[in-house]
Amino acid sequence: MRFNVRMTKTPPPTPPNVPPPGYVPPQPLSPNDERLWSTLIHVGGIFFGFIPALIGYLVLKDRGPFVRAHSTTALNFQLTVLIASFAAGIIAGILAATIFLAPLGFLVILAVGVYLVVFSIIAALAANKGEFYKYPLTIEFLK
């Protein structure tokens, strides 16, 4: 009995949990850099919404526990504010149907904006001091 065996030129697959050649693992940030990036993520959320928190989470989450905690917290907060803004817009639209309740709809939108600015500044100050911070009234999408 004779077996016909052919050799292929493709290399065998790399074993799991082995980084590809040339891969350099992310280096941890210094404590000062972690505080700086955490502060910038919180302040950036005031101007650009959830984008700085998302970028910070995706890029910096493996660079240190402090920046990971703050980027996760900021992303959860920004997503909660996004949902609250959408709901406030719907409520304002419904209340605008009657001319007497239209200012109340504006106050709902204003309350969400004030909530965003005030608690983002408080979180940024806590991050700058090197303290952990948890936003109130936030849905935890990421843990």
Structure tokens at 67: 């920046």
- Over residues 27-56, the pLDDT tens digits come to 888 999 999 999 999 999 999 999 999 999
**Domain residue ranges of the chain, discontinuous segments joined by +:** 31-129
Average pLDDT over residues 8-28: 77
Number of helices (H) and strands (E) in the chain: give both, helices first. 4, 0
Cβ atoms 60, 92 nearer than 8 A: no
Cα 53 to chain centroid distance, Å, stands at 3
Cα separation, 129 vs 45, in Å, equals: 18
Predicted local distance difference test score (pLDDT) of residue 93: 87
Q: Is the pLDDT of residue 106 over 80?
A: yes
Average pLDDT over residues 124-133: 96
Cα separation, 45 vs 15, in Å, equals: 41
Residue 94 pLDDT class (50, 70, 90 cuts): confident
Residue 78 pLDDT class (50, 70, 90 cuts): very high
Structure tokens at 2: 């004779």
pLDDT over 90 for what percent of the chain?
Answer: 62
Average pLDDT over residues 6-23: 73
Residue 25 pLDDT class (50, 70, 90 cuts): confident
Structure tokens at 120: 């983002």
Give pTM, 2 decimals: 0.80
Cα separation, 46 vs 136, in Å, equals: 16
